[in-house]
Structure 1
Amino acid sequence: MDQNRWNAVDSFLTDTLIPPGQRIDHALEANACAGLPAIDVAPNQGKLLHLLARIQGARRILEIGTLGGYSTIWLARALPPDGQLITLELNPTHAAVASSNIQRAGLSSIVDIRVGPALDSLATLSAQQARPFDLIFLDADKPNNPPYLEWAIKLSRPGTLIIADNVVRDGGIVDPESTDPAILGTRTFLERLGQHPQLDATAIQTVGLKGYDGFALAVVKA
């Protein structure tokens, strides 16, 4: 199996399982036109996030790492009309593109984009005594995943679902010689995920349009 086959399978799954009316290709096109890096989740992964949010019955979602808002839209579509999604983005240019995409999707009333370093935004949310989130999606700079996890736990409740993207890194997480900060941060994140007494966690490897990678999932315990 090679990348061409993985791409073909992902395309088949998307064409077969995601009707054209559910797709948000306009967001990907806008991101490409704006020169954003092509690191959004794949369409079938976006639909997976959407379904997980619905299964969770989420009313409040926190996303760390907005980029152009593609995953934001998938998650926000799972919320009820009175739900809320807060998404954190460092880059003002990315946030502006995301805002346009979210507005075009008709979701501006329930999505709050906060611009600045995520660790600062998370500290602000905590200081504001933000109500706990039902689902938290981590998809920002990987070296900071360990502190993002600690904030996610503080901003959660028993039963909150925490999802992290890009946790396999082409298998780099098992390379003991790696000095890549993203790999080191991801490995530390996974170790803390498995050792934390408040979490019940697992991770899966994935292949597809985004190459060889994976998701981690954890539920906050009572």
Structure 2
Amino acid sequence: MTSSATDYAAIWTRSDAYHNTHLIADPAPGLEAALSESKAEGLPEIAVSAAQGKFLNLLIRTHGWKRVLEVGTLGGYSTIWMANAIPADGKIVTLELSDKHAEVARKNVANAGHAGKVEVIVGPALETLPGLSPDPPFDLAFIDADKESNTEYFVHAKRLVRPGGAIIVDNVGRQGNVADETNTEPRLEGVRRLLRYIKEDKTVDATTIHTVGDKGFDGFLYAIRL
């Protein structure tokens, strides 16, 4: 077998599918329907992978977290994974720029039985985040929106997440291109700016976990608020 990018992508996808057949063989209600409805409505197919959704779910259950902030709702697929993990008295506040995406997400969330747990706020996140209160604070912030604004989203998340809580920023691996500073594509620059910010920030501790799978070569940043 050759070592072309196409071959590696096929291997990663096949591996993800194999593991998922054993570990996510019976997805919770509403998840597959959310993907189907989002596709039918023309939303971009850029939701988290099933494996990453399950990871978010397990993480919330491990810590017993109840309050989650999400920046970037899309069709609500990741929202449902997290809502499946929080208790009945938990809450997810999720921010979405697009009215259409928010409408689809609300439908998908309700179909999954979580309408009472999830609040979808529509508008530019940099305009809606300042209106959120840290009282009560969030346990987790999951940032999966435009990468150019990663740093601003992260700063707001720090204000809203309790000490000891976590902030996860998705899509920071980007095929390994972040390390190539000759490539000044705006999304890459957005990730680099966040890394430079965190390097000097003494109020958080963080690491990047690189991943391969059916979404290609990417990764997420995991930080805790000190």
Q: Which category describes the TM-score, using the shorter chain as reference length?
A: over 0.9
> CA–CA distance in 2 between the matches of 1:11 and 1:142?
27
Match of 1:153 among 152, 158, 164: 158
Does 2:190 correspond to 1:185? yes
Does 2:83 correspond to 1:67? no
SS in 1 for 2:95: strand
Match of 2:142 among 137, 141, 159: 137
Across the two proteins, how many residue pairs are aligned to each other? Answer: 219
The TM-score, its normalising length taken from structure 1, stands at: 0.95
RMSD of aligned C-alpha atoms?
Answer: 1.2
Match of 1:173 among 148, 163, 178: 178
Does 2:54 correspond to 1:50? no
The aligned counterpart of 2:206 is: 201
> CA–CA distance in 2 between the matches of 1:192 and 1:119?
18
> CA–CA distance in 1 between the matches of 2:23 and 2:56?
14
Runs of 4+ residues over 2 Å off in structure 1: none
Does 2:20 correspond to 1:14? yes
Q: Which runs of 5+ in 2 are unaligned?
A: 1-6
Q: Once the two structures are superposed, what CA deviation does each residue of 1:2-22 show, in whole Å capped at 9, x if it has no partner?
A: 111111111111111013142
The aligned counterpart of 1:40 is: 47
| Gap change, CA 1:93 and 1:112, over 3 Å in 2 | same
Kept after mapping to 2: 8 A contact 1:102/1:108: yes
SS in 2 for 1:58: coil
C-alpha displacement of 1:179 = 1.9
Letter in 1 for 2:215: K
The aligned counterpart of 1:210 is: 215
Q: Once the two structures are superposed, what CA deviation does each residue of 1:115-171 show, in whole Å capped at 9, x if it has no partner?
A: 000011101114xx5421000000000000000010000111111111111001111
Match of 2:89 among 53, 58, 82: 82
> CA–CA distance in 1 between the matches of 2:200 and 2:17?
37
Q: Once the two structures are superposed, what CA deviation does each residue of 1:90-120 show, in whole Å capped at 9, x if it has no partner?
A: 0000001101100000000010000000011
> CA–CA distance in 2 between the matches of 1:203 and 1:55?
20
> CA–CA distance in 2 between the matches of 1:102 and 1:213?
27
SS in 2 for 1:75: helix
> CA–CA distance in 2 between the matches of 1:169 and 1:148?
19
SS in 2 for 1:200: strand
> CA–CA distance in 2 between the matches of 1:144 and 1:156?
18
Q: Once the two structures are superposed, what CA deviation does each residue of 1:181-210 show, in whole Å capped at 9, x if it has no partner?
A: 111011111222233111111111111110
